[in-house]
Amino acid sequence: SQQGEEDPQALSIQEGENATMNCSYKTSINNLQWYRQNSGRGLVHLILIRSNEREKHSGRLRVTLDTSKKSSSLLITASRAADTASYFCATETRGGKLIFGQGTELSVKP
């Protein structure tokens, strides 16, 4: 069954604009993580937010977590062309397994 589901599936914005991606999940989690993938190869970890945290920042990234709604959002501020990539949320379940969503494909146009 699908755990993390991202919304939107694709997002196209202009450089300098903010990009917001959302993730919903179904079961209880230990934490939620966001990853970035370029060109369909290896993923790079961006940020981890624990189930008892509500918001976290890292550089131009801001992540929120609402466990009552079982949802998270990733905000990239002042986007750059280099931010163009696919972004995945991954939820770590109580059993320790990490389950990935289908991803949001972000395109930042210069």
What residues line the site for another protein (CB under 8 A)? 4, 30-31, 33, 35, 40-45, 48, 50, 88, 90, 92, 96-103
Our CB check for another protein shows the closer of 17 and 97 to be 97
Least CB distance from residue 99 to another protein, whole Å?
6
CA 109/CA 82 separation, integer angstroms? 9
Q: Which of 73, 91, 90 is nearest to 8 (CA)?
A: 73
Measured from the CB atom, is 15 or 22 closer to another protein?
Answer: 22
The nearest distance, CB 5 to another protein, in angstroms, is 9
Shortest gap between Cβ of 28 and another protein (angstroms)? Answer: 14
Contacts of 75 (CB under 8 A, 6+ apart): 18, 19, 20, 61, 62, 63, 64
| Contact between 85 and 6 (Cβ < 8 Å) | no
